[in-house]
Structure 1
Amino acid sequence: MSTNLNIVVIEDHDALRDVTVAALAGHGHKVIGLECAEALYERKDIEWIDLMIIDLNLPGEGGLSLTQRIRNVYPNIGIIIVSANNLAEHKRLGYDSGADIYLTKPTSLDELSSAVNALARRLKQSHKTNTSSPQICLRSLTLQGSGMVVQISQHEASALIAFMRAADHRLESWQLLELMGSHGSEYTKASLEVAIVRLRKKLVQVGAAPHPIRAIRNYGYQLCEELGLAD
């Protein structure tokens, strides 16, 4: 297959996750394996996701909740649910949450690879973005919209992606401090506010509403603007 994808596998069974990651990487894909949904929010090096493989029975946030939220944030990526539950009602819930394909465990690596290939063809032929909202281009590190292109830093891009992935698009101050390359002190918290003000201005330049990131007292910040990912 000529289409190589950026794939995230979320599976809490260590051996199964390792085998799946190795098999897909052997087909030329760039694959990252994570043990839970929460680990996805903590990773700073995941910039672009084409496809996610999600186990339903995860510790912490469950697979259905994660699938629904990922589908809302990334409407055009491929999502494969893998579950030991083969009841029709559970499959319906999986598809209703946003899955493209629901596979029942035990799933052979050949079957999983075929499902990935099928989604790869769909992604290659019909990948679209919602160009009515500001777009993040991770390859060029720019924000795009309203006829404007604004340069952003790697730290700013990481923060915006983390906002998009987070529940209710909220991040605590300590999370943002780490994403922005700082660590917790009064000085760096003040610096964080300056960085957020700068990022707000950049978002407004590309068509965002006047207050695209709002402060949450004694917590952190929330992204209030819908963003898309540009090719």
Structure 2
Amino acid sequence: MTTLLNIIVVEDHDDLRASIVETLRAIGHQVVGVDCAEEVVEIAQTMHVDLMLIDLNLPGEDGISLARRIRQSQPGIGIVMLTARGKVSEKLQGYDNGADIYLTKPTTMEELSAAIQALSRRLRPATQATSALQLNLHKLTLAGQQSEVSLSAQEASVLAALARAPGQRLENWQLIALLGKMDVSKAGLEMQIARLRKKLIQANVDDQPIKAIRQFGYQLSVEIQVV
């Protein structure tokens, strides 16, 4: 079973970056692609990042410097280096500066996906084994340790989107689009979220499992495994 992550891809080759982002999104990961290190800071301020995929030959700050800086500020983050630098000394430098995995170009999307999945078991080891809640998109159920709650297709879609979103939060317009009701009012959205909160609480979640963010939207405050 795939552990879904929030990933930033730092790659200045446009076609390769687009291919990597598309591949990882197809698996289910939340992925943002940027072409230089300078864009990482802004993105990281708006989303929780589990893993960064870094090319070393970047314009401006290079990948080695970026990885070293990220590793120092976020010791628990995953770092995969993907580069044309294939000498042993270059690989050692990569590992010395924060890489968990060092892949040399060209590599296949299958190998890259497998490497990320292997690393994900360290990044989120408890999510699959001990997650308090499990959302089954096929059965439309939300199961806690001692109870199971039925969901509508819309409720399951909204909950899955919140669980997978960066920082587990979505804007109001995104939630309205998921509900398929573009004419719904703010009060109508609040009513839908209130119903979903009740079902989360029925599944043995503490109060306020979905929090309102003023002038933005809503944030899920519990871990949910989506299957």
Larger Rg: 2
**Match of residue 222 from structure 2:** 226
Could you say what secondary structure the match of 1:175 adopts?
helix
Confirm or deny that 1:16 pairs with 2:16: yes
1:81 corresponds to which residue? 53
Question: Deviation at 1:191?
Answer: 2.5
1:57 to 32, 36, 39: 36
CA distance in 2 between counterparts of 1:113 and 1:150 reads 36
SS at match of 1:110: coil
TM-score (ref. length: structure 2): 0.61
Structure 1 pair 19–197 and aligned structure 2 pair: CA distance change class (3 A)? closer
The aligned residue for residue 90 of structure 1 is 67
Question: Which one of the candidate residues 11, 20, 31 is aligned to 2:23?
Answer: 31
Quote the Cα distance in structure 2 between the aligned partners of 1:68 and 1:171. 11
1:55 touches 1:82 (CA, 8 Å); kept in 2? no
Please name the residue that 1:141 is paired with.
140
Q: What one-letter code is carried by the residue in structure 2 that aligns with 1:199?
A: L
Ranges in structure 2 where 5+ consecutive residues have no aligned partner: 86-103
CA drift of 1:141 comes to 3.0
Alignment partners' CA distance in 1, 2:177 and 2:42: 26
Q: Is the Cα–Cα contact under 8 Å of residues 200 and 211 in structure 1 kept in the other structure?
A: yes
Instruction: Give the aligned length.
Output: 198
Structure 1's 96 and 58: CA in aligned 2 closer, same or farther, altered over 3 A? same
SS at match of 1:143: strand
Q: Structure 2 vs 1, CA of residues 152 and 4 (structure 1 numbering), >3 Å: closer, same or farther?
A: closer
In structure 1, C-alpha distance between the alignment counterparts of 2:52 and 2:214, rounded to whole Å: 37
2:108 and 2:39 map into 1 onto residues whose CA distance is 28
The 5 Å alignment of 1:163-202 reads: 163-166=162-165, 168-183=167-182, 185=183, 187-202=184-199
- Which range moved further: 91-100 or 196-205? 91-100
Distance 1:105 1:164, change over 3 A: farther
Partners of 2:116 and 2:172 in 1: CA distance: 37
How far apart, in 1, do the equivalents of 2:2 and 2:127 lie? 18
Q: Point out where structure 1 has 5 or more consecutive residues left out of the alignment.
A: 22-29, 34-45, 72-78
After TM superposition, which residue ranges in structure 1, 4 or more long, deviate above 4 angstroms?
3-13, 18-21, 51-56, 58-64, 119-124, 165-168
Tell me the distance in 2 between the aligned counterparts of 1:93 and 1:101.
12
Q: Would you say 1:203 and 2:200 are equivalent positions?
A: yes
Residue pair 2:133, 2:142 contacting (<8 A) in 1 also: yes
Q: Between the two proteins, what is the percent identity of the paired residues?
A: 30
After superposition, the CA RMSD in angstroms is 4.4
